[in-house]
Structure 1
Amino acid sequence: MDNVNELDLLQDVAVLTEQIMNIESVSGNEREIADQVHQALLKLEHLEVHRDQDAIVARTNFGRERRVVLAGHLDTVPLPRTEGAKGTVPAQVIDGVLYGRGATDMKGGVAVQLALAAELKDAKYDVTYVFYDHEEVEAAKSGLGRLAKNSPELLEADFAILLEPTNGTVEGGCNGTSRFVIRTHGKAAHSGRAWMGHNAIHDAAPILQRLADYQPQTITVQGLDYREGMNAVRISGGIAGNVIPDYCEVEVNYRFAPDKTLAQAEALVFDLFEGFEIERTDGAEGAKPGLDQEIAADLIRILGQEPKPKYGWTDVSRFSALGVSAVNFGPGDALLAHSDDEHVAQEDIRTCLKSLRSWLS
């Protein structure tokens, strides 16, 4: 490996963020960044390092009674196609703001993990640092899911933090997510003789009406209010402009609060669309906030901010499934993730590092 490109984990964490942002790592192309993270961690004698394809786990063994996980994904969504977009590669620094793909989601958080891994040679807890591939694509490819399957013992801990962007505030747990396809069937005919057929798209009108009439709930779980949502996200049907459609599919996404299991969410949707042909095509459990532990309360006290719920799904769900309470906490605004203007203030990355250093020291 060219020494010029090696990661310097002890430099200013904002500059480290820029360095890893300049390594393009769209999902499926994580090898280079994984290699560099792996090589940098291998140099740290206080860490035990493991690798599974493009996922790396580094662990301290201080002999502490409790262990925490700091986790983050190495991949990004594809680069923007808009000409002149700032949220691309390589990164740009403008007036103390770092622009580029992965600025918020989530190379700022990954840089904080790496800085702590190099810096903390003694800590209040033993720490496991997890860097993984394929988060921004279908769940079956997830590097964290692969680690949980192949080496679950490496992820054992009392508490976990996923360094997803939260604007520097703890966001507890996450909503679950599920997708369904609801189908109607008709009879094809020439549109000039429509009475000879039966229009499947017209039959989908009651599906859309039930969605329009549905009132999503806000549900309190361990003191945090989780807003649910149920929406049609795609509709398809028909084969040509002069043919009465003989089929229609409405895809529905249900985001459900972590008071429900995936099975309970499925039952609710099946009940709402009773009488229609329906299939669940995807789903992931939510995660309860995990803020009822002393170890989490310590972090909240240090930050001095009230925790918030995480409305979107994140990999805290995977840790919850392993029996590890987990929260989201990292630099940057999640609303900027995946945007053509993705950016993060350099000082926000430094502040995140200081907060976690204080918590762990």
Structure 2
Amino acid sequence: MTPAEADAAVELLESALAVPSPSGEEHPLAVHLAARMREAGLTASIDAAGNVIGETEPRPGPTVMLVGHLDTVPGELPVRRTGGVITGRGAVDAKGPLAAMISAVAAEADFPGRLVVAGVVEEETPRSRGAVHLGRTRPVPDALIVGEPGGWQGVVLGYKGKLDLRYRVTRAATHPSNPEPKATEVAAAFWQHLLDLLGPDAGHASFGTPGATLVAMHGDAAAAALEIGVRTPVGFDIPAFTAALRERADGGTLDVLNAVGAVLSPRTDPVVRALTAGVRAAGGTPRPTRKTGTSDMNTLAEVWDVPMATYGPGDSALDHSDDEHIAVDDYLRGIAVLRTALRHLAALPPRAAAPATGPAAADTRPDRPDTHPAAPAARQPEGVLR
């Protein structure tokens, strides 16, 4: 990377950080990045969901899609560069990875196939509306890189799935001394039933086990409600689990607000291998990891059975924090890693032309929350990594 290219890449990130983009308010940033993509020689557009999409000139080779997200959690953070560090909301999660992707794609504009870079909306919300729209409307690519922070030497193989639940129960108003169970007591018992169903080994520390969080609870003796998040491992049977919970609802109602399965790519996956080669070429030691959170890799794996992995510079421990920052050197190394990975992926054979949609491309979230496609066989567990 030349000094001029490095300066341009850093300025792109700083300019993106200067445009606030909390979930639902991404349009100004999409417009800004579309203009910057065009200046860099890409064609650019904003789709019906509000995603910004940049593309290189199409050629006969494979199509590689790189997907980051535009939105951040709420809360502005002053943008500043001090001592080789850039601070700002989204510097890590995930404008840093997205800006690195845009810079890498622009620098590899002579790619022998087609490169597509997308900044999607509402990744930080339960529905991941932008990624869902991509999966429903875009042609299936030959390979996918999702942009999330994992450190410039990290290659993320997979993420746990996520199940968002709401439990509500009512009971007749009565005196506190009445021995009949109160709504709050029934809700507390339901939470315990859920933990019992998950088993004694459940927890968030391991990729191979489910873990539950009681996100919120409110109510009184007459009416109570729980908001629950469950992180699920590969192979977890979401429909069977929710059916078992409903059997223990004790007159309450259980709503599935969101359901997305776990995803795990093997180390032999072409995208994993390409990113690993990129890290080595940049002088690093690849660190393949599995994360207990959830990303748009989960969402897109449900509709695109293609080689995929997640990559992005930045320390994920700083996600959403008031000290969110990224080292300039790490950001620039991330761009170099991506450029090398794209050159490796140029050797992929392009798939036959196929429509973007099909049975798997429907939005399975709130409309069909209990129907959950199984993870592709190529992404079954390789064992537990803590």
1:99-138 to 2 correspondences below 5 Å: 99-123=87-111, 126-138=114-126
Equivalent residue for 1:50? Answer: 45
Residue 112 of structure 1 deviates from its aligned partner by 0.8
1:103 match: secondary structure: coil
1:69-108 to 2 correspondences below 5 Å: 69-79=65-75, 88=77, 90-108=78-96
Residue-by-residue CA offset, 1:243-267 (whole Å, 9 max, x unaligned): xx12222332211012235424434
Residue-by-residue CA offset, 1:11-60 (whole Å, 9 max, x unaligned): 34233212210111222222222112112223454x44332143122223
Task: Please say if 1:293 is aligned against 2:269.
Answer: yes
Structure showing greater radius of gyration is 1
Structure 1 unaligned blocks of 5 or more: 1-7, 81-87, 239-244
Residue 152 of structure 1 deviates from its aligned partner by 2.4
State whether residues 173 and 290 of structure 1, in contact with CA within 8 Å, keep that contact through their aligned partners in structure 2. yes
1:20 match: secondary structure: helix
C-alpha separation in 1, matches of 2:326 and 2:180:
56
Over aligned residue pairs, what C-alpha RMSD do you find? 2.9
Residue-by-residue CA offset, 1:147-203 (whole Å, 9 max, x unaligned): 333x222xx212211111112211122211112233444321355xx3397522233
What is the aligned counterpart of 2:258 among 279, 283, 296? 283
**Identity among equivalent pairs (%):** 25
1:170 match: secondary structure: strand
Matched to 2:103, the amino acid is A
1:302-341 to 2 correspondences below 5 Å: 302-303=278-279, 304-323=285-304, 324-341=306-323
Task: Please say if 1:18 is aligned against 2:14.
Answer: yes
1:128-167 to 2 correspondences below 5 Å: 128-139=116-127, 142-149=129-136, 151-153=137-139, 156-167=140-151
Equivalent residue for 1:172? Answer: 157
C-alpha separation in 2, matches of 1:269 and 1:347:
49
C-alpha separation in 1, matches of 2:5 and 2:130:
23
Q: 1:101 to 1:287 in 2, by over 3 A?
A: same
Task: Please say if 1:195 is aligned against 2:178.
Answer: yes
Aligned residues: 328
Residue-by-residue CA offset, 1:74-108 (whole Å, 9 max, x unaligned): 1211115xxxxxxx0x3122222211111111111
1:189-228 to 2 correspondences below 5 Å: 189-191=174-176, 194-195=177-178, 198-210=181-193, 214-217=199-202, 225-228=207-210
Q: 1:276 to 1:167 in 2, by over 3 A?
A: farther
C-alpha separation in 2, matches of 1:212 and 1:144:
31
C-alpha separation in 2, matches of 1:40 and 1:49:
9
C-alpha separation in 2, matches of 1:312 and 1:64:
36
Equivalent residue for 1:30? Answer: 26
